[in-house]
């Protein structure tokens, strides 16, 4: 079966993670927040944020600004955005592959941060569409999210490859019949994709 489409995770693959554990810990420490209180509030709010049912402003109101702070929501949001950094080697490879293959994102992220990352790193130059949790209302590793992405891209599971850094997400992609590559670094990706006929 010929591979017709590549699906990319964004955080941890094309870019650093946007608002994962390490990024949150760095910003929480910088702003002097109480880690346990922040973590508990984040845990309750983030599924709604990433499913697109809560804006970033609403998330920050619940998780950070439920009490007066000596900094502004704009300050905090800027620190969140600054956590995003490019993975240059992977981006270069993706741009090259995008010249010969249909490619999409399939990722979990809230709307505001997702838009910032797409715009800042010009991901729309090589990804045809963004199948993001905030738009689909589903979160990986729910198999339904992979099936919906395939349906929107109009490709069969066996015609698609998912590239993701999290083992559970790779397993979920395979569970719906997709090929999947566990991303560890840019150097190993060409060989893993070539084994599937993607060059």
Q: Tell me the per-residue pLDDT of 10-57, one tens digit each, with 9 for 90 and over.
A: 999 999 999 999 999 999 999 999 999 999 999 999 999 999 999 999
Same domain, 122 and 172: yes
Same domain, 187 and 124: yes
Three-point CA angle 75, 130, 173, nearest 5°: 115
Give the pairing type, strands 5-8 and 179-182: unpaired
Question: Residue 33 sits in which domain range?
Answer: 21-82
Q: What is the mean pLDDT of residues 177-191?
A: 97
Partnered with residue 107 across adjacent β-strands are 132
Residues 187, 89 contacting (CB under 8 angstroms): yes
Q: Residue 117 has what pLDDT?
A: 98
Q: Closest Cα partner for 108 from 30, 197, 12, 22?
A: 12
Domain count, the chain: 2
d(CA 23, CA 33): 14
Point out the domain boundary residue: 82, 105, 131. Answer: 82
């Amino acid at each position: 079966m010929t591979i017709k489409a590549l699906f990319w995770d964004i955080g941890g693959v094309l870019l650093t993670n946007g608002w994962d554990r390490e990024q949150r810990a760095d910003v929480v420490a910088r702003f002097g927040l109480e880690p346990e209180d922040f973590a508990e509030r984040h845990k309750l709010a983030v599924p709604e944020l990433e499913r697109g049912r809560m804006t970033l402003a609403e998330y920050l109101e619940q998780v950070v600004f439920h009490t007066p702070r000596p900094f502004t929501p704009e300050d905090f949001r800027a620190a969140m955005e600054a956590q995003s950094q490019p993975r240059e080697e992977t981006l270069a490879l993706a741009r090259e592959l995008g010249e010969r293959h249909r490619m999409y994102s399939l990722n979990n992220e809230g709307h505001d941060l997702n838009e910032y990352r797409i715009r800042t790193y010009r991901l729309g130059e090589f990804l045809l569409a963004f199948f993001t949790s905030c738009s689909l209302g589903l979160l990986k590793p729910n198999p339904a999210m992979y099936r919906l992405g395939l349906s929107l891209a109009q490709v069969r599971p066996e015609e698609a490859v998912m590239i993701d850094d999290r083992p559970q997400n790779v397993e979920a992609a395979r569970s719906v019949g997709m090929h999947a590559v566990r991303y560890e670094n840019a150097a190993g990706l060409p060989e893993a994709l070539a084994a599937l006929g993607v060059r």
